[in-house]
Structures are given as structure tokens and as C-alpha cells.
Amino acid sequence: MAYTLYYSPSGASMAVHWMLIEMGLAFEARLVDIDTGAQRDPEYLRLNPAGRVPTLTIDGIPRTESAALLMLLAERHPETLLAPAPNSPHRAEWLELMVFLANTLLPAMRDWFYADTDGEAQGAQAVQTLARRRIEAAWDRLDAHVADGRDYLIGGRLSTADFLAIMLMRWSRNMPRRATDWPHLGPYINRLRTLPSFVEVNAREGLSDWSNPPSA
């Protein structure tokens, strides 16, 4: 199996990058420099017509969408136990949470960051206000989910849901209310930030602004 990940530091590719490291798989990482517009390069657009990251080529075939890639990798490598098995009692909860993160929280994050470019600039403030409300409602839900002190979101072990959730929580670090401000999410985040694979993905992507000891 040959994997090549096209990524941008701190972007939507981070969860996939982190998971590949955690799985111990051999893969090639290729930087897509969004600051220079590399995502609009014709060569990259042939792989990902949307001009976004991540793109993961699997035996030469490009695949996209971060949540889908996490689930696909878990399915292709079931020995890593990063998703509940189809007959697991945790499977339904995992599917529900993955779809919630991908369909509710991730789009709200995009609306927050790109309200003035994805739509009309004059309506950006209203879009951001709604996005912030949806994001903070998601933190409320996830905070209640980990209020019992669990280490991971699903089934007592690390899963794709944690990779996706932590990436999205990281994006809140400069928002008016950060995910770390929630009483139960803060300890959950701090635990996950100690994982060697999380430390490693930050090092590989040149990131140092969201780590333990807590900086945000």
C-alpha cells in the first residue's frame, strides 16, 4: 500500500497526518503551500479539483475529505483499532460522532474563518455570529460527552473521532472562547496533547502554538 499525503500545516489535513503517524504507516508527505496559492496549481487541481487539503493518494489514486480519509484508513488497517468494528457496541456512537464533527462542526468552523471570502463581505458578521453559536454549542455537547473523565471520545480507546475533534478544537485557539475554556474539554485536550504522535505531527508541521504545558 502506497500513501502520499498532500497537506498544509494546521489545515484540515492535520488529522490525517496525525493518524498516519499514530498508525506507524509508511507514507510520503508533500507540502501544499496555501500562502503561495499552491492549492490552485493546475497539477494539484488535477488531484483535488476543489483546491483544498487534504488529498491522500492511495496506490496512486487521489482521495479527499478529511473525515472520509480517517474512516477509510481505519477500515483499511483494522489491526490499529482506530475505529470500532462493525459488530462493536460502540460502532453506532462512533458513526454518529464522526458525522456530527464532519457535517456540523467543521462547516461552522469554515464559516467562522471564511465568512468574508466564501460569501458576501457585507454579510460576514452575521455569518460569523451564527457560526460561533454553532461552534460553542458543539463544545457544550462534547464537554458533556467527556464530563465522566474518559480519556477518549469512544469506547475507552483512541479513535478517528479524537483525531478529528482535536484538530477542530485546535482551530478555536484564537477564538473569543476556546475549546480549552470548557471545564471538561480542557483536561481531555491536555491528555491528547501528550500523545507522542501528536507531538510528532506538530514537529513535522512546524507548529508550536498549541501544546502542553497549555499555551492556549
What's the confidence (pLDDT) of residue 67?
98
Residue 139 placed within a domain: yes
The pTM of this model reads: 0.95
Same-domain check for residues 119 and 147: yes
Angle (CA) 30-179-174 rounded to 5° is 65
5 membership: H or E segment, kind and range: strand 3-7
Please write the tens of the pLDDT for every residue from 158-179: 999 999 999 999 999 999 999 9
**Closest C-alpha to 41, from 33, 14, 56:** 33
Same-domain check for residues 33 and 108: no
Instruction: Answer yes or no: are the C-beta atoms of 3 and 72 closer than 8 Å.
Output: no
CB count within 10 Å of CB 208 equals 9
CATH code at 75? 3.40.30.10
Residues ≥6 apart with Cβ < 8 Å to 97? 153, 154, 161
Residue 57 placed within a domain: yes
CATH code at 106? 1.20.1050.10
Same-domain check for residues 120 and 43: no
pLDDT band at 214 (very low <50, low <70, confident <90, very high): low
Please write the tens of the pLDDT for every residue from 68-102: 999 999 999 999 999 999 999 999 999 999 999 99
Residue 86 placed within a domain: no
Parent domain of 34: 3-80
Residue 213 placed within a domain: no
Task: Tell me the three state secondary structure of residue 192.
Answer: helix
Same-domain check for residues 109 and 134: yes
What's the confidence (pLDDT) of residue 216?
52
